[in-house]
Structure 1
Amino acid sequence: MHGPATSLSTSVSAWLLVLLCAVSGAYCLRRAGRAGGGPAAGEAAMGFGMALMAVPLRLGGDWQAPVLGAVFCAAALHAMWLLRGGPHHAHHLVGSLTMVYMALAAGTGAGASPGSAGHAHGQGAGLPLLTGLLLLYYAGYVVLGGARLVTVGAAGATGAPAGPAEVIRACRLAMGMGMLAMLLTM
């Protein structure tokens, strides 16, 4: 099953992940512009960074991993700054540090880029503990976020268009699913 059909389906799913993350990032950027920054700006950076990291092509050299690592180290520092406002910003810190981890894994040759299949498959490496813990975290985040979105949607099923809160939840859920998908390829 490693023929052209598999690589084509992997490429299509990687590009769909790129599109999903870029659209989520664009929505968050638009929201950040209206709200004057804040957490939405961090979510926009996360969405665009995830989109860039999920691109199934190497874009000329080995600059991606160090640049993305530096960007998400800065995002982690920003998330730590946001923690002074309360623990509800901890997810931003986890997300930023997860992106640093994936950028380092891609840069050290621990596998292919996170957007491509084959991170350590067939190398006998097994699943690293940190990757497993992050998979559990994001699986729980996606299930909980999906349940919240369905509950809100069921409570307000009046045929009215989705409000901003539902769109924000859907955007966060999409980025959580994207993170889970990228971790699964490691």
Structure 2
Amino acid sequence: MHGPASPGWLLVVVCAATGAYCLLRMRSGVEEQRRAAGGEALMGFGMAAMAVPAAAFTPPSWAWPAYAAVFGGAAVHSLWAARASTHHLHHLVGALAMVYMAAVMAASPAAQAGHGGADAPLVTGALLLYFAGYVLLSGARLVPAGAAGAAVPWGDRPELARACRLSMGIAMVTMLLTL
């Protein structure tokens, strides 16, 4: 979140690029892909904004409750969408992790100054385990299963969507580690 400047900027770039690609995926002809891409774009851009190094920009005190409200709304939407697809359960966990990180940042003056707390609460540990497992599973899914077929538009390429999910999972692990 607000650790050293160089890794923070790299995290901003990766998350913003992922969010931008997810916006492209929202133009897909597949309805389910469009729905998932919207939530993933929100996560990508939200993570990019939260990862800006504190040396470059310290958010005002109202920003953290605003993050919590936006991602709380995203969590409710993901919970509603989970009725149709279990993939939305991952979106729910991601949105709740963002709410949790925003709440921790709002409550911790040391974290806002760029120094994370010395202890790792149980929730942080559980989220780290979840996202580390998600990263390993997503990485394993990137292994090609067979020969490529016909040309597929950029918004519908499943391997790029998986790579974006993998990068966001890695970014979430990184953000949780610096919390």
Q: TM-score range by the shorter chain?
A: 0.7 to 0.9
Assess if the C-alpha contact under 8 Å between 1:145 and 1:173 holds in 2.
yes
Number of matched pairs: 170
**What is residue 66 of structure 1 aligned with on the other side?**
65
RMSD: 2.6
Structure 1 segments (4+ residues) deviating >6 Å: 160-163
Question: Of 40, 45, 48, which residue of structure 2 is paired with 1:43?
Answer: 40
1:14 aligns with 2:11: no
Assess if the C-alpha contact under 8 Å between 1:110 and 1:120 holds in 2.
no
SS at match of 1:127: coil
Give the distance between the partners of 1:170 and 1:111, measured in 2 at CA.
Answer: 34
TM superposition score normalised by structure 2: 0.85
TM superposition score normalised by structure 1: 0.82
Question: Of 45, 49, 54, which residue of structure 2 is paired with 1:52?
Answer: 49
**What is residue 126 of structure 2 aligned with on the other side?**
133
Assess, with a 3 A threshold, how the Cα gap between structure 1 residues 79 and 110 changes in structure 2: closer, same or farther.
farther
* Cα deviation code 1:121-164 (max 9, x no counterpart): 3xxxx220010000000110001111111x22x64489x99981
Assess if the C-alpha contact under 8 Å between 1:117 and 1:185 holds in 2.
no
Higher RCO, 1 or 2 (CA under 8 Å, sep at least 6)? 2
**What is residue 79 of structure 1 aligned with on the other side?**
78
Question: Of 157, 162, 174, which residue of structure 2 is paired with 1:164?
Answer: 157
Give the distance between the partners of 2:171 and 2:50, measured in 1 at CA.
Answer: 11
Structure 2: state its 5+ residue gaps.
none
SS at match of 1:61: coil
Assess if the C-alpha contact under 8 Å between 1:110 and 1:119 holds in 2.
no
**What is residue 185 of structure 1 aligned with on the other side?**
178
TM superposition shift of 1:117: 5.5
AA partner of residue 78 (structure 2): A
Structure 1: state its 5+ residue gaps.
1-6
AA partner of residue 97 (structure 1): L
